Amino acid sequence: MPHIIVEYSANLDGRLDVKALVDDLHAAAAASGLFEVPAIRTRAVRRDVFRVADGDARNGFVHVTARVRQGRTAEQRKALGQALLAAANRRLDGVFASQPLALTIEVHEIDPEMTFRRNSIRERATTAA
Domain membership of residue 42 as a residue range? 2-128
d(CA 101, CA 116): 36
pLDDT of residue 30: 97
Could you list the mean pLDDT of each consecutive 10-residue stretch along the chain, which spans 129 residues? Answer: 96 97 98 95 98 97 97 96 98 97 97 86 73
Strand residues in 24-59 grouped as ranges (E): 41-47
pLDDT of residue 29: 98
Report how far apart, in Å, the C-alpha atoms of 86 and of each of 24, 29, 38, 121 are.
Answer: 10, 11, 23, 28
pLDDT of residue 66: 98
d(CA 5, CA 7): 6
Total of domains in the chain: 1
User: Which domain CATH number covers 113?
Assistant: 3.30.429.10
